[in-house]
Structure 1
Amino acid sequence: MDYFVYCRDRPGVMELRWELAEAHWSFMDRYAETMIARGPTLTPDGEAATGSAHIVGLPDAAAARTFAFEEPNYRAGVYDDVLIRRFTNTLGRTMWEFPGGREGLLIIAHDPATAAMPGELVAAEDRDRLIACGPLLSDDGTQWLGTAIMAELPDRSAAEAMMARAPVRYATVEVHPWRFGGRPAA
C-alpha cells in the first residue's frame, strides 16, 4: 500500500531543520526502495522550507504512522501538523522517472464534491505535467478524501487553471511550491 504523508513546519524552525538534515536523510534512506516521491514545500521565494511531503509504500496504516512520527524532524518538534492518507499511485512510477524538471507545485485537494471518484483526476491536457498524482483515501481505502498532485507548474495561477479543468471540484485546495527532495548529490 502507498501512503501520502505531509508534514507542515512550525514557524521559525529552519535552523533546526538544517541541524537535522543528515538524520532526516539517513531515516529516509531506510525507505528508499519504496519511495515514490519526496521533497520539501517552500516559501513563495523558495528560500525556506514550509513542510515535507512523502509518498511511500508501506505495509499498513500503523507503519505509515511509524514513518511519520519516528522521523527525526517530527521527534525534534519541526512539524506542527501531520497529514497521513492512503494513496493510489495513478501514474505507476516514481518522481525519478518523470522526464521533466525537478521542481513545481504540490497540490492537496480536500473533500471532493462527489463521493464517486472520476476515472481521471486531472484533464488529459495536464497529464504530461504530473510528477505524482493520486487519490487520498481513508485508512481502509474505502473513502475518497481528496487528491494529491505534484506537478511541473510555474505558479499558483497555473495550478488553479489545472484544477479548474479537473473533472471534480473540492472544498479546499492547497498549493505549495515544492521540489524534489533527498540527499544532495556529492
Structure 2
Amino acid sequence: MSSEAPAGYLPGDPRYGLSGESLKQYYRTKAAQWAIYCWDVGERSDAVLRTAMPNASGTRNGLLAEQKAYVKSFGERVIGYGHFLSDDGRETLGTSFFMQLDDRVAADAFVANEPMSKAGVYQSVEIHRWSNSFQKRAAEYPRKGLQQFLCFGPKTGTPEFFREHLHAHESYFASYGDSFIFRGPIRSADGTENIGTALLLELPDRAAADKFWNNEPFAKNGGYGRDPRIVRWMFGD
C-alpha cells in the first residue's frame, strides 16, 4: 500500500495531506477572514439611488484619503484592499476588502463604519467568509506593473467533482505562482465547507485573465458554472 499522501494539495500548502474531517477541523480552528465586495451606486440604474447620490464618483474621490486611513488603522488584519475598475481602467466600479476579523459581527461593523459606506457611495455590499490559503498579504506582493484581476464565483460541482480535480487545480495554480497576489476559497458561514473561490492575480491584460480562468481545471470542467466573474482591480494604497 502506498504511503504517499492523497493526491490533492501540494507540499508546502498548510492543507497538504488533509481531507475530510481533518480538513474541516483545519478551517474551524483558523482565524476568520472575509472577502468584502462593495459596488458603487453608479452600477445600478435606479432613479431613487441616483437622487440619493447624484455625484457618487465625486463623493468617492473626496473620501479616498479617509478610506485609506480607515483601512490602515486595521494594521496587519488587512490582507488586501483595492478598487474594482472597468476593463479599460477609466471607471471605478467599487471597492473590495480582504480582512481578518473575529466574526461576521466584526465584518458587518467594519463595513458600517467604513467612510464610503457611511456616505452612501455603495449600492450593494457582499460579505463572504473566506480563507487566505497561504497567508499572503497584498502589501508583501512584488508588483510587476501589470494589470490586476479579481476572479471569483460560487461552486456548482459536487464534492466528488472537486476531489477529482483538486490535484490538477492546485498544480495549475502552482504554474501561476508568481502571478498570485493572494488566493483562497469562499467558505460556508461556519468556515468548514468550500463553497466558492476568490483570488487576486497580476497579468498583462484581460485576455490573459480570461485564458487563466478558462483553462483552470475546476472552471474548465464546469465547477463554477453559475455567475463566475473576472473584474479588473487595482491596489488601494
Report the TM-score, using the length of structure 1 for normalisation: 0.88
Residue 176 of structure 2 corresponds to which residue in structure 1?
A: 126
- Give the aligned residue type for 2:234: R
> Quick check: 1:153 aligned with 2:208?
no
Residue 174 of structure 1 corresponds to which residue in structure 2?
A: 229
Aligned residues between the structures: 182
- Runs (4 or more) in structure 1 with deviation over 4 Å come to 119-122
1:88-147 C-alpha deviation (Å, 9 max, x unpaired): 111221112212325411111223423356365571322221101010112211232211
How large is the Cα RMSD of the aligned pairs?
A: 1.9
Residue 7 of structure 1 corresponds to which residue in structure 2?
A: 38
Larger Rg: 2
Task: Identify the structure with the greater strand proportion.
Answer: 1
Report the TM-score, using the length of structure 2 for normalisation: 0.70
- Give the aligned residue type for 1:19: G
Q: Percent identity?
A: 30
In 1, the alpha carbon distance for the partners of 2:195 and 2:210 equals 19
Task: Identify the structure with the greater helix proportion.
Answer: 2
Query: CA 1:48–1:139 in 2, change beyond 3 Å: closer, same or farther?
Result: same
Structure 2: state its 5+ residue gaps.
1-31, 43-54
Structure 1: state its 5+ residue gaps.
none
SS of structure 2 residue aligned to 1:172: coil
- Give the aligned residue type for 1:163: W
Please say if residues 122 and 165 of structure 1, whose CA atoms lie closer than 8 Å, have aligned partners that are also in contact. Answer: no
Q: 1:92-107 alignment to 2 at 5 Å?
A: 92-101=135-144, 103-107=147-151
In 2, the alpha carbon distance for the partners of 1:165 and 1:100 equals 24
Query: CA 1:121–1:138 in 2, change beyond 3 Å: closer, same or farther?
Result: farther
Query: CA 1:156–1:68 in 2, change beyond 3 Å: closer, same or farther?
Result: same
Instruction: Report deviation, 1:86.
Output: 1.3
Q: 1:65-76 alignment to 2 at 5 Å?
A: 65-76=108-119
